[in-house]
Amino acid sequence: MLLKVEGMSAGYSGVDVIRELDLTIDKGEVVALLGPNGAGKTTTLLALAGVLAPTSGRVLYRDAPLRGALHQRARRGVSYISEQGSVFSRLTTLANLRLGPGPVADALALFPELEPLLKRRGGLLSGGEQRMLALARSLAGRPDLLLVDELSLGLAPLIVRRLLERLRAAADEAGTAVLIVEQHASQVLAVSDRGYVLRRGRLSLSGTGAELLASPEALQAAYLGAGADASSG
Ligand SMILES: Nc1ncnc2c1ncn2[C@@H]1O[C@H](COP(=O)(O)OP(=O)(O)OP(=O)(O)O)[C@@H](O)[C@H]1O
Ligand SMILES: [Mg+2]
């Protein structure tokens, strides 16, 4: 198992907002982290990225504790794309790519759409272009574990599909393990091996992507609370 999280709790100012989370991700797996607003999805990623210190539990990465700040985790192959975008708005697309962990040519091979935008400042790119830039930069570094928050916020469905397909390809071709937070459950589950649903800081449902897609009632119940602590797999 690449990442094994056991009983992880974390929060802000001494108040835990995620409690006793257990989750695993294997090499080459795409795992969706779903749940309603305020459920604790971003908090979970922040704790795994090293931005926020867990208050209890264990996080094992390649069977060793995952510790330190984000830049230290980056050296161990962990990449994090935040909700806010992770693009430097005053730097050009090219400069943004050069700051990344991998070759610019690799980033452009993943997203040729960025080629005509190389001289444009990051802040002037559209929302979708900024997400492409962030994803291209991250994937060019061939991360072993990619943590990505709200890849598709406010984006057109076709771009969302393109981004999700690139993630799926990174998992299949480079063995990248992806933990992805998404609001659009059905779209992300279609490319996910497994999914977890968080509700009020706890896991309320988990299963394979296919299982979760096949039972929209269970998924809805997990979001709304009726199916708390149920598990389909
Ligand atoms: N910096 C903070 N200080 C205090 N409380 C916070 C902070 N950030 C988040 N919270 C609280 O922690 C809880 C979980 O928030 P989190 O951002 O992890 O949710 P989320 O599942 O990512 O939601 P969304 O889908 O809206 O992005 C919420 O109740 C939120 O208000
Ligand atoms: Mg969030």
Query: Confidence class of residue 226 from pLDDT cuts 50, 70 and 90?
Result: low
The response to whether residue 40 sits with its C-beta less than 6 Å from ligand 1 reads yes
Transcribe 140-165 into DSSP letters: HT--SEEEEE-TTTT--HHHHHHHHH
Find out whether the beta carbon of 184 lies less than 6 Å from any atom of ligand 1: no
Three-state secondary-structure class, residue 101 = coil
Atom of ligand 1 nearest to the CA of 43: 18
Residue 172 lies in a domain: no
Q: Is residue 220 part of a domain?
A: no
Q: Is residue 15 part of a domain?
A: no
Pocket of ligand 1 contains residue 33 by CB under 6 Å? no
Asked whether the beta carbons of 144 and 177 are under 8 A apart, the reply is yes
Bridge-based pairing of strands 194-199 and 30-34 is parallel
122 part of a folded domain: yes
Quick: pLDDT tens for 25-37: 999 999 999 999 9
Cα–Cα distance measured from residue 210 to residue 193, given in angstroms and rounded to the nearest whole number: 8
**Number of structural domains found in the chain:** 1
- Asked, for residue 96, whether it belongs to a domain, the answer is yes
Q: How remote is the CA of residue 42 from the centroid of ligand 2, in Å? A: 4
**Has residue 127 been placed in a domain?**
yes
Whether residue 123 lies inside any domain: the answer is yes
| Parallel, antiparallel or unpaired: strands 78-81 and 145-149 | parallel
157: pLDDT confidence band, cut at 50, 70 and 90?
Answer: confident
108 CA to centre of ligand 1 in angstroms: 34
Q: Give the residue numbers spanning the domain of 138.
A: 86-142
Residue 153 forms part of a structural domain: no
Query: 145: CA distance to ligand 1 center in Å?
Result: 23
Q: pTM of the predicted model, to two decimals?
A: 0.94
| Mean pLDDT, rounded, for 87-98 | 96
